[in-house]
A and B are shown apart, each in its own frame.
Chain A
Amino acid sequence: MGEVEVAALRGVDIDLRDGEMVVLLGPSGSGKSTLLNLLGGLDRPTEGTLEYRGTRLLFDDDASLTRYRRDCVGFVFQFYNLIPSLTARENVAIVTEIARDPLPPEDALGLVGLGGRMDHFPSQLSGGEQQRVAIARAVAKRPDLLLCDEPTGALDVSTGKVVLEVLDRVNRELGTTTAIITHNAAIGGLADRVMTMHDGSIARVAENARRMGPDEVTW
C-alpha cells in the first residue's frame, strides 16, 4: 500500500479578533483539530501562512515556535494532560516559571475555583477538577490566545458546565481570545462567533447576537 496524500485543510482563511470567544464546530475528521494545532504552533502547514499580531509565524524554526507557545498561547486538552508527579500548584508553576508576566499559580487556581485543592496530585482530583487545573495552567501565563481541544469531551454534563463556566469567566475577566473546538453544537451558544467546519474547510461562520451564559447551555 502506498502513501496517500490527504489534505486535512483546504482554503481556510480566518481571523481571530482580540478578546473574542470562538467555537469551532464540526464532525470528526472535519479538520478542526488540525486547524487548532496550526493556530497553536504545534503543526506545520504544507502551504499557507499564519500571522500573529502582524508577525508571520516561522514554522521552520522550532525555537521560535517554542517561544510562541511559551509566550502567547495557552492549551487545554481533552484528556487534561497534567503531569501526574506534580501537584495542582506545581502543574501551574511549571508554566508560570517560564512565562514573562504570569499570574501567581495560587491566583490562577483561585480563578478556576480550586483554591482549596492546590496541593493535591492529579490522581487525587476528579476529572472536572483536573480539567480546571489544566485551564489554570493555560491561563496563568496570561496568554493572548487560549486554545481548547474538546475541553468537555471527557466529562459528564454537570462537570462540563463547570469547566465552561471557567472558560467563559477567563474570557470575560482576562479578555483572553479563546478558541474552543468541539463537536457539541450546544457549546456554540457561548461564543461570539461559531465556525462550522466540514471536510477541511470552513462551511459557515455565524455571529451570535447574544452570548449565552454557561448555565443556559444544555446538551
Chain B
Amino acid sequence: MRAIHRKLWRDLWHMRGQALAIVLLVACATMTFVGAVSTRRSLQVSRGHYYDRNRLADAWASLRRAPEDVAEEVLRIPGVAEVETRVVAEVQLSVTGFPDPVVGRLVSLPAGGGQPGMNRLHLRSGRLPEPGRAREVVAGEAFVKAHRLRPGDRVGAVIHGRRQDLTIVGVALSPEYVFQARTGAVMPDDKRFGVFWMPRDGLAAAADMDGAFDDITLRLSRGASEPAVIAAVDRVLAPYGGTGAYGRDRHMPTRYLSDEIKQLRGTAIVVPSIFLGVAAFLLNVLVGRVVATQREQVGVLKAFGWGNGAIGLHYAWMVLVMVLAGTALGIAGGVWLGRAMTAQYTIFYRLPVFEHELETWVPAVAAALSVAAGLLGVAGALARAVRLPPAEAMRPAAPASFHATPMERLGIGRLLSPAGRMVVRNLGRRPVRSLLSSLGIAFAVAILVTGMFFGDAMDAFIDVQFRLSDRSDASVAFTAPLPADAALELRRQDGVLRVEPYRAVGVRMSAGPRAAHTALLGLDPGGELRRVADGLEGPAAIPDAGVMLSRRLAQNLSVGVGDRVTVEVLEGRRPVREVTVSALADELLGTSAYTSLPALARLLDEPGSISGAFLAVDPTAEEGLWRRLREMPKVAAIGQAKAELEAFRTMSAEFLLFFASVLVVLASVIAGGVVYNAARITFAERSRELATLRVVGLTRAEVSSVLLGELAVLVALAIPMGWLIGYGLATLTAGSVESDLYRIPVVVSRASYAWSALVVVAAAVAVALLVRRRVDRLDLVSVLKTRE
C-alpha cells in the first residue's frame, strides 16, 4: 500500500465516528431511494402485467336494466372495441359465526361458463363454477381470508328477497378489485364486504335479469377518445336507467392503486434528497475541517512535489470511501425495505405475483446520486486544498476573529454569562454552518411530522366521519325507493332507537360546458345521524331549497353559491331541472350534492319516497336486529360505517406502525448524525479553549455546558423549523393525492409535534452525551503546550 493510502485509511479511522454518521446518512438515502423506487416499480410491473393479462376493462357503466341487444348498440360506438354485459347485485350475506351484517357484491360470470372477456379472475384455489351449477360461486380472496373460509364452505345470500345458499368452489383475485370496498363505504372492511362471482343464469334468475343486464364493461380501441366514448355510452344507456359511464381514473380500486404509486414516486424523490442533502452538508463540514487542520501536511506534500491533482484526488477518495460504503450498505437496506414495503402493500392491494423487483439501474443511479451529492458537498474544501500555495500552507492559519453579535449590540448580551456569550458568538461566527446544522436537524423533525401526519390525517378523517358526518350505527339501503312509511316500519323494530330516512339519486349535474356524475342526497335538515361535514369543525346546514355542493364538485363545475346548475336525474322518469346552488360544504370525501328530503321530493316529483335510512341502534339488541333486517326482502344492504372505519383503522395500524418505526430510525440517524458531527467539529475546533477553561478551574459540567449549549441552541432552533417544514411536506403530500374520491385533511396533532421533537431531542442527547465523555477525557497538559 502506498504511503498516501495509509494516510487515507488512518485519517478515516481517526474520524471514524463522523465518517460513520455520514456512511449511515448515505445508507439511509440509498435505502429509501432503492426501497421506494423498487417498491413502486414492483407495484407498477405487477399491476401492468395483471391488468394486461387479466384484461382490466377501460370503462364501466351501471344501469337499471337493459335488454341484451342494447350491447350491440354500445359496440357500434366508434372507439369501443369490446363490450361485455353483466349482472351485478349487492346483497345481504350471512356468514356462520359472524352476526354483523355483511354485504356481498355478486358479479355474473358468462352464461356459457369460463372466464369473462375482461376483468378475468386470477384463481388462487379451487375452480370456476361449472355450467349449470347456479349456486356455485368464486369468492374474493380478501373475504375468504378474513373469515377463514375454504372451497366447499357456504354463505347465505338474500337475493331479491329470496334466500339462497351459495357454495364457494374457488377463491380468486380480480384486477377490478385490487381494493375492495362496498358501494358508499370509504374504506375496505374485508369482514363486512366481499365480492363473489357466480354464473350469469343463476344470478339473472335470482335478480330478475333474464335476458337483460344492469352492468356493462368496455374495452376501447387504441387511440379512442375516452370522454367521447363515455358520452356516447351515456346517451345509449340513458333510456335504460344508465347512471353514467366512467373510465379507470374514476374506478375506485384502480384509482387508489395509481394514487399509491404516484405517492411512492414522491417518497422516492423527497426522502433520499433530504438525506443526501444532509450528508453532503456534513461532508462539507468534515472535509473542510480535515483540510484546514492538514494545511501543513498539504504544504509539506506540495513542497516535496505532490501535484494539485494528486492532492485533490486524495481528499476526493476520502469522500468516495465514505459515500461508497454508505451506498453499499444502503442497497442492502433498500432491498430489505423494498421487500418489507411490498409485503405491507399486499395488506391493501390484492395483486397476484406481487413480487419485489430490483432493476440494476436503481442501485447504479443511487450510487451515482450519492457520489455526486458527496463530491458537490466537498467541492469547496477540495478546491481549497488544491489551491493552497505550499508556502502559505506551512504557516498556521490566521486566528479566528470574533465580534459581538447584533443581538448583543442591542444590549441583550448583558443577560448572558460569558459561557452563554461563547455559545452565541461561536454560532454567530459561522452563521451558515450553524443554520445548515439546524436545518439538517429540522429535516429529522420534519420527516417524523410527515410520517405521523398520515396517522393524524386518518384520525381526523375518522373523527370527521363519526363526529360530524355519519353518526349512525347502521345505514339501511332498500332495493328500490319505498314510500315514507318504510321508515316507520324500521322504527318499530326492537333495538332501533332512531331512524332518519334519506333519498339518494344518481344525477348528472352540469353548468355550461362542465358536467359531473354524482349522487344527490336528500337528508332530514334536522337530522342528527347523517349530516354534512363542512371542514373539520362543524356540520353544514342542509338547505331547505336549492342544492348544497361539496366544494370539490363546485370547483369541477366552476360554480359558486347563487349560480344555477342543471340536474339530470338518472333514474325513474329522469327529470331535468335547473336548481340554484345555495351552499357549499368543505367535505373530505367524494363530490356529492345535498338537499333536504322535501326539496328532493319536489325535484323528483315523487313525494315521500325514500332510498333507505340511517339508524341509531341499541347495542344490546344488535344481533337480533341484524337477523330481522336480513330477512326483510326490501332491504338490499346494511352498512355499519363505524365498524368499517374501526376495521380499517385496525388494518392500517400495522401499516402505519411499520412506517412510523422506519421513520423514527431514519430521523434518529439524521438528528444523531448532524448533532454528533456538530459536536465533534465544535469539540475539535475548541478543545484548546475547553481545556483552558478546565485548567483555570471550571468543572467538567461547566465546560460541557459550553459545548452542549451550542448543540442545544441548534436543536432548539431546529424544532420549530422542522415543524414548519413537516407541515409543508404534509400539505404537499396531501395535495399530491387529492382527487375527486377523497381529500386528506392536513392535520398534525400536538402529540405528533411533541413526539417528533422528543425523538430528535432524545437522539441529540444520546449523541451529545457520547461527545461529552471527550470533555471528561480532555488532556489538559498536551493541549496547552501546543499552538493550534
Contact = CB atoms under 8 A, between A and B. Distances in A.
A85 B781 contact: no
B273 interface: no
Contacts of B404: 87
Given A69-B696, A79-B787, A97-B418, A85 B688 contact: no
Contacts of B787: 79, 154
Nearest to A143: B697
Given A98-B698, A122-B399, A83 B784 contact: no
A86 B429 CA distance: 12
Given A77-B784, A122-B399, A83 B693 contact: yes
A142 interface: no
Nearest to A93: B418
B422 A83 contact: yes
Contacts of B403: 121
A85 B425 contact: yes
Nearest to A80: B692
B650 interface: no
A90 B413 CA distance: 12
Interface in A53-103: 62-63, 66-67, 69-71, 73-75, 77-79, 81-87, 90-91, 93-95, 97-99
Contacts of B425: 85-86
Contacts of A40: 695
Nearest to A67: B697
Contacts of A98: 697-698, 702
A43 B697 CA distance: 14
A33 B400 contact: no
Contacts of A83: 418, 422, 689, 692-693
Interface string B411-441: 0000001110110011001000000000000
Contact of A81 (B399, B401, B417, B692): B692
A34 B576 CA distance: 103
B692 to A, nearest CB: 4
Given A66-B699, A69-B696, A121 B781 contact: no
B402 interface: yes
Given A43-B781, A84-B689, A62 B418 contact: no
A71 B697 contact: yes
A37 interface: yes
A164 B697 CA distance: 24
A86 B421 contact: yes
Contacts of A91: 418
**Most interface-central of B401, B421, B697, B781 (chain A CB within 10 A):** B697
Contacts of B395: none
A149 interface: yes
B780 interface: yes
A158 interface: no
Nearest to B398: A123
A94 B784 contact: no
A42 interface: yes
B402 A123 contact: yes
Contacts of B781: 33, 37, 42-43
A75 B689 contact: no
Nearest to A105: B418
B692 A123 contact: no
B785 interface: yes
Contact of A86 (B401, B422, B698): B422
A84 to B, nearest CB: 5
Q: Which of B403, B429, B693, B695 is most buried by chain A, counting CB atoms within 10 A of its CB? A: B695
Contacts of B743: none
Nearest to A71: B697
Given A33-B785, A94-B419, A75 B693 contact: no
B384 interface: no
Contacts of B417: 97
Contact of A123 (B399, B421, B422, B702): B399
Contacts of A85: 400, 402, 421-422, 425-426, 429, 689
A95 B699 CA distance: 12
A98 B784 CA distance: 21
B344 to A, nearest CB: 50
A24 B370 CA distance: 58
A72 to B, nearest CB: 9
A42 B695 contact: yes
A161 interface: no
Interface in B754-788: 780-781, 784-787
A193 interface: no
A137 interface: yes
Nearest to A137: B696
Nearest to A66: B699
A33 B787 CA distance: 16
Given A86-B418, A149-B784, A95 B696 contact: yes
Dominant SS at the B interface?
helix
B574 interface: no
B700 interface: yes
A121 B429 CA distance: 13
Contacts of A63: 699
Nearest to B697: A70
Interface string B667-697: 0000000000000000000001101111111
B418 A94 contact: yes
Interface string A2-13: 000000000000
Contacts of B784: 77, 79, 81, 149
Interface in B378-419: 399-404, 417-419
A75 B695 contact: yes
A90 to B, nearest CB: 5
Nearest to B429: A85
Given A42-B780, A84-B400, A75 B696 contact: yes
Nearest to A83: B689
A121 B700 contact: no
Nearest to A119: B404
A66 B692 contact: no
A91 B302 CA distance: 39
A48 B402 CA distance: 44
Interface string B644-686: 0000000000000000000000000000000000000000000
Contacts of A37: 781
A93 to B, nearest CB: 5
Contacts of A81: 688-689, 691-692, 695, 784
A74 B698 CA distance: 12
Nearest to A63: B699
Interface string A134-168: 00011001000000010000100000000000000
Contacts of A86: 402, 418, 421-422, 425
Given A84-B400, A85-B429, A90-B418, A69 B693 contact: no
Interface in A23-47: 33, 37, 40, 42-43
Contacts of B702: 98
B434 to A, nearest CB: 13
A135 B17 CA distance: 38
B421 A62 contact: no
A104 B700 CA distance: 25
Contacts of A124: 401
A141 B697 CA distance: 11
A67 B699 CA distance: 8
A198 B697 CA distance: 30
A73 B786 CA distance: 21
Given A94-B418, A98-B697, 20 more contacts: A42-B780, A62-B700, A69-B697, A70-B698, A70-B699, A71-B697, A75-B695, A78-B785, A79-B786, A83-B692, A84-B402, A85-B422, A85-B429, A86-B402, A86-B421, A95-B696, A98-B702, A121-B402, A123-B400, A123-B401
Q: What are the 6 A-B residue pairs with the smallest beta carbon separation, nearest first? A: A70-B697, A123-B401, A94-B418, A85-B425, A81-B692, A69-B697
24 contacts: A42-B780, A43-B781, A66-B698, A69-B695, A69-B697, A70-B697, A70-B699, A74-B696, A75-B696, A79-B784, A79-B786, A81-B689, A81-B695, A83-B693, A85-B426, A90-B418, A91-B418, A93-B418, A94-B693, A97-B417, A137-B696, A141-B697, A149-B784, A149-B785
